[in-house]
Structure 1
Amino acid sequence: MKPETPKTGEFSKREGLDEFLVPPKNFAMVDQGLFRSGLPQKCNFGFLKTLKLQSIVYLSTEPYPISNLEFLQSNGIRLFRFSMEGSTKSSAEIHREKIREALKVILDQQNYPLLIHCRSGKHRTGCVVGCLRKMQRWCLLSIIEEYRQFAGAKSRDCDERFIEFFDVSNLKKSSQPAICFRNTINFI
Structure 2
Amino acid sequence: MKLEVMPKQRAMEAEQREEAMEMSGLELWKHEKPASMVVFLPPPPPPPPLVPAAAAAAAAACGEEATLVPPLNFAMVDDGIFRSGFPAAANFRFLKSLNLRSIVYLCPEPYPETNAEFLAKNGIKLYQFGIEGRKLTTSELLLLQEPFVNIPDDKIREALKVVLDVRNQPLLIHCKRGKHRTGCVVGCLRKLQKWCLSSVFDEYQRFAAAKARSTDQRFMELFDISSLKHLTASHC
- The reply to whether TM is greater than 0.5 is yes
Q: What residue number does 1:174 align with?
A: 230
Residue aligned with 2:195, SS = coil
Shift of 1:170: 1.9
> Once the two structures are aligned, what percentage of the paired residues are identical?
58
Q: Which residue type is aligned with residue 156 of structure 1?
A: R
Kept in 2: contact 1:134–1:140 (CA 8 A):
yes
Distance in 2 (alpha carbons) for counterparts of 1:15 and 1:139: 46
Aligned equivalents of 1:145, 1:80: Cα separation in 2: 27
Answer whether contact 1:107 1:177 (CA < 8 A) is retained: no
Higher helix share: 2
Mapped to 1, the partners of 2:197 and 2:67 lie a distance apart of 37
Which of residues 26, 31, 35 in structure 1 aligns to 2:82?
Answer: 35
TM-score of the two chains, using structure 1 as the length reference: 0.84
Please list the CA deviations of residues 130-181 of structure 1 after superposition, one character each: whole Å capped at 9, or x if unmatched: 000000000100000000000011000100100111110122x22215132x
Determine helix, strand or coil for the equivalent of 2:226.
Answer: coil
Deviation of the 1:15 alpha carbon:
7.1
Paired letter, 1:60? C
Name 1:79's counterpart in structure 2: 126
Residue by residue over 1:19-62, the C-alpha shift from the partner in whole angstroms, topping out at 9 and shown as x without a partner, is: 51000000000001100000100000010011000000000011
Partner in structure 2 of residue 134 of structure 1: 191
Given that residues 55 and 78 in structure 1 are in contact (C-alpha distance below 8 angstroms), is that contact kept between their aligned partners in structure 2? yes
Bigger relative contact order, structure 1 or 2, given CA contacts below 8 A and separation 6+? 1
Bigger CA radius of gyration:
2
Q: Secondary structure at the match of 1:22?
A: coil
Q: How do 1:110-149 and structure 2 match up within 5 A?
A: 110-149=167-206
Q: 2:218 pairs with 161, 172, 179, which one? A: 161
CA distance, structure 2, for counterparts of residue 117 and residue 97 of structure 1: 18
- Contiguous gaps of at least 5 residues in structure 2: 1-57, 136-146
Letter in 2 for 1:168: I
Residues 109 and 177 of structure 1 are in contact (CA less than 8 Å); yes or no, is this contact kept in structure 2? Answer: no
Task: Give 1:16 shift.
Answer: 4.0
Query: Is the 1:103–1:128 contact (alpha carbons within 8 Å) kept by the matching residues of 2?
Result: yes
1:184 aligned residue: none
Q: Which amino acid aligns with 1:31?
A: D
| Structure 2 counterpart of 1:44, one-letter code | N
Q: Under a length normalisation based on structure 2, what TM-score does the superposition of the two structures give? A: 0.67
The Cα RMSD (Å) is 1.7
